[in-house]
Amino acid sequence: MAEENPPGEAKGKEAGAEGEAKAAGGSGKKKMIMIAVILVVDLLLMGGAAMFIVSKLKPKDTTAEDQKAKEEEEHKALEALTKIGMTLPKPLTFTVNIAGSTPEETHYLKCSLQLEWEAAEHGEGEGKAEGGGGGHGGGGAGGPSDPLGIAIMERMPKITDIVINILSSQPYLELLKASGKQKVKESIISELNAILPTGHGHLKNVFFTEFIVQ
């Protein structure tokens, strides 16, 4: 007769087999979890790399930056346009005869003009009015105290002579035109800058505060 295993031994073998099966199942689950984790990490890394590459390849939207830069440039241009430089304490007034269309015609021009100049950087602080007031200067009985302003005041007789010559040489009909007045301004600026010292700034504009042609 075949020998029968004792009841206790049979139960032990069954318990061992069940434990091995559970251990094998647990090991398989761990491997699956690890594989899943690895796949998720790989996908995240690949997604991040793809987004990085796309962001580098995508052209940068500079519309807002360009608009801001343009607005800043326009603001600076407006400031430069509206900013008033150094000026004389009061306008210069002239009355001169001007030529008509025929030798028999006689006309005259009465005008007042103001000179405006841009002081050099090292002299800008010196050209402030001592008592306030728009950069007219406070030196020498109310005259300009910046180097170029002083040079203008020192050369006033010569400046007056140059301006009279320019005004009196203009044809009557030309002075009735806006282009004629602009030409006079440009001539005054050019000829006066030629007699002023360099390095202290430059005459940049002439304003007519009165202009009567008869």
Structure tokens at 209: 């505060």
Higher per-residue pLDDT: 46 or 176: 176
Residue 101 has pLDDT above 50, yes or no: yes
Average pLDDT (11-37) is 65
Residue 166 has pLDDT above 80, yes or no: yes
d(CA 197, CA 142): 22
Residue 78 has pLDDT above 50, yes or no: yes
pLDDT digits (tens, 9 = 90+) for 59-68: 556 687 888 8
Record: fold of 86-213: Tetrahydropterin Synthase; Chain A (3.30.479)
C-alpha pair distances (Å), 39 with each of 36, 43, 50, 122, 159 = 5, 6, 16, 70, 88
pLDDT digits (tens, 9 = 90+) for 103-113: 788 899 999 99
Ordered by start, the domain boundaries in the chain are 9-58, 86-213
- What pLDDT is recorded for position 137? 39
- What pLDDT is recorded for position 9? 56
**Average pLDDT score, the chain:** 78
At 131, is the pLDDT very low, low, confident or very high (cuts 50, 70, 90)? very low
Residue 150 has pLDDT above 60, yes or no: yes
- What pLDDT is recorded for position 139? 38
DSSP string, 169-193: TS-HHHHTSHHHHHHHHHHHHHHHH
**Taking the complete model, does pTM exceed 0.85, yes or no?**
no
Average pLDDT (158-183) is 95
- What pLDDT is recorded for position 75? 77
- What pLDDT is recorded for position 182? 96
- What pLDDT is recorded for position 147? 92
- What pLDDT is recorded for position 77? 73
d(CA 189, CA 153): 15
Whether the CB-CB separation of 121 and 169 falls below 8 Å is answered with: no
What whole-number percentage of the chain has pLDDT above 90?
Answer: 41
- What pLDDT is recorded for position 13? 56
